[in-house]
A and B are shown apart, each in its own frame.
Chain A
Amino acid sequence: MKERGGKDHAKLAERFNEDEPRVDWHDKTLWFVREKRDKAAWQIPEWEQLRERASHIKNTVLANLHDLLLQFESNAEQNGAIVHWAETAAEHNEIVRSIIARHGVNRIVKSKSMLTEECHLNEYLEKHEIEVTDTDLGERIVQLANEPPSHIVLPCIHWKKEEIGDLFHKHLGTPAGNSDPAFLTAAARQHLRDRFLTSRVAITGGNFAVADTGEVVVCTNEGNADLGVQLSDVHIVCMGIEKIIPSRDDLAIFLRLLARSATGQPITTYSSHFRRPRPGQEMHIVLVDNGRSTRLGSDDYRNALKCIRCAACFNTCPVYRRSGGHSYHTAISGPIGSILAPWGDMKKYADLPFASTLCGSCSNVCPVKINIHEQLYRWRQDLVKQGYAPTSKKIGMNAMQTVLSNPGIFRIGGWLGRKLLKRFPFMVNNRFNPWWWQRDMPEPPATSFREWFQKNRKQ
């Protein structure tokens, strides 16, 4: 068998589960967000039509991506933006670094961009002595703590306010023991306002890029993207090539779906349309492939490129809520991350498609109708075929195959299991059985269904 990468979701989740009250709190907080999403969605009678339409638009985009990219590039250039193309994460990072270097600055502000997390831009720039300040409050918190975000919309959802109070005391000099969210937010506002006023380069992500007009739309609640961009000499947009949509009209569909799916808000506070740079400002748009163009050719996995990063699938997922984002050891965690990550590195992320109950709730809430749970199931099959399943799982699966394809063995096995479970329960209720660690084993039934049926069929 091929050796698997070092990190494993199940092991990391086990560590997360050591603190049970905390897991309950994490679970409930995210379920609360899921409920807000439901309330918002149910207020729109045409919600399902919106999902259908959004899915259709995204399918159309993927089928016409070549022409749409060219159209976007040409319109963006006419608007005065400079368009760059990056085949890999490394090339993206180098493009961004060289733009910053050309302006001779060593500190920049960045609003939320999952693409830059995917490319590990911060680490790269810091290696080149450029200080990056993440300006989204949640992202700033995890950045100060030297951690990656654990959720793509709520980056520090795993942090308690008391811990944030301690963190701010250490880094921002707030009084020890003060953990009032309003107070801490005000402290962060002051600290970051200074960064906004002194940074000449601002990086943003892009939620949507409109081919028809060459504009980029960025959605935030905090106003950090806007403040960063409008106070800087250089605006760099970092986005994946799949973010293109054909026209402004399509924005109506996506803006109706995005915030309602993400947090249950009717719309984010700011939905900003960056079309032309400020007079005297430079605007760069970096279009990043990083595996997307090859994924486009896969009938099984292409669909994940429709994602608009709302995180509805995270909040609804029973496994995510109880294992925490860091257990996924990748920039985009949760169900969508579990189908995205293995495309880039099957070996490193072979564990992720197994971090699911396949209940399908993710697919049900997805605003662009990605078949997430079906892709999780497909990944499992492909990973096993490619030799990335752990040995213990393979032995189990082979044993299972023998038993299930042989009625005689199945019957004897069932009979033996029932007898043994009844007389010697300790044979399964022990630490060698991983199933027993977090669960009680069931009471063995007196007879099998087959025995019952044979006895009762005549009645």
Chain B
Amino acid sequence: MSSREKILAAVKKNQPRDPGAETPAVSQTVVADKKEKFKTVLTAIGGTVVEMNSTEKIAAYILNISTDAASIISTVPGLQLGNSISGADPHSLKNIDIAVLPGEFGVAENGAIWITDGAMGDRALPFICERLMLVIPENSLLGTMHDAYQRIGAAGYNFGTFIAGPSKTADIEQSLVLGAHGPKSLTVFLLGG
């Protein structure tokens, strides 16, 4: 018998009877002001939230804080900035300073933004850049993770991730340090209007 067969046989033999009872319900929290909550939470976990009403203004904002346009990549439709991704080797992205990517939606309760591989240009980009910027429509904000997975549904992405703030660690004496291995900062543009 292969290990697979042995494990499956043992599991089948030993698994208990189904608890059967009704699945306990979870009351839906209603987040009254999703934008306010999202801003408060994301700021508290080290992110920056900027409200904008056009992609032109976002472009101007980014160019204003960047010293090297060649190290910017944007995959946001209508936001022409810096470089486009050339080639399939993610290692070529190692010197990217700013990556600007379109997020799908934000979650008010925890400040997380959902983004899938189709929007990333390269899957390594949101993690390898020094500064990550995500653009989401203001009206895409959802209340909780329950709403988030309802919205994701059976989506057929290859890779998807919730990003909540810059990469961070508190492994040295519980001192919070932003910028562990991934981006040192996260800016979220809430696109209104």
The residue from A29, A227, A296, A299 contacting B173, defined by CB atoms under 8 A apart: A29
A53–B7 CB distance below 8 A: no
B164–A63 CB distance below 8 A: no
- Stretch of B18-26, B68-76, B97-105 lying at the A interface: B18-26
Chain B contributes a number of interface residues (CB within 8 A of A) equal to 74
Tell me the bound Cα distance from A57 to B22 in angstroms. Answer: 11
Any B CB within 8 A of the CB of A345: no
CB neighbours (8 Å) of B63 from chain A are: none
Closest CB in chain B relative to A150 CB, distance in Å: 12
A181–B10 CB distance below 8 A: no
Any B CB within 8 A of the CB of A265: yes
CB neighbours (8 Å) of B41 from chain A are: 266
> How many interface contacts (CB-CB < 8 Å) are there between A and B?
242
B13–A297 CB distance below 8 A: yes
The residue from B8, B162, B165 contacting A69, defined by CB atoms under 8 A apart: B8
A52–B24 CB distance below 8 A: yes
The B interface is mostly helix, strand or loop, or mixed, namely: loop
CB neighbours (8 Å) of B110 from chain A are: 256, 266-267
Query: What are the interface flags for B172-193 relative to A under an 8 Å C-beta threshold, 1 for contact and 0 otherwise?
Result: 1111010111110000000000
- A230-B128, A289-B10 given; A265·B172 CB < 8 A: no
Closest CB in chain A relative to B94 CB, distance in Å: 6
A222–B15 CB distance below 8 A: no
CB neighbours (8 Å) of B127 from chain A are: 223, 226-227, 230, 270
B180–A184 CB distance below 8 A: no
Any A CB within 8 A of the CB of B62: no
CB neighbours (8 Å) of B162 from chain A are: 255, 267, 270-272
Known contacts A46-B26, A252-B149; can you find 16 more A-B pairs with CB under 8 A?
A52-B24, A53-B26, A65-B11, A66-B8, A86-B3, A154-B170, A154-B171, A185-B180, A222-B168, A230-B124, A241-B7, A256-B110, A268-B164, A269-B167, A275-B158, A276-B158
CB-defined A-B contacts under 8 Å, sample of 9: A32-B174, A46-B29, A49-B26, A154-B170, A186-B179, A223-B127, A231-B128, A270-B164, A296-B16
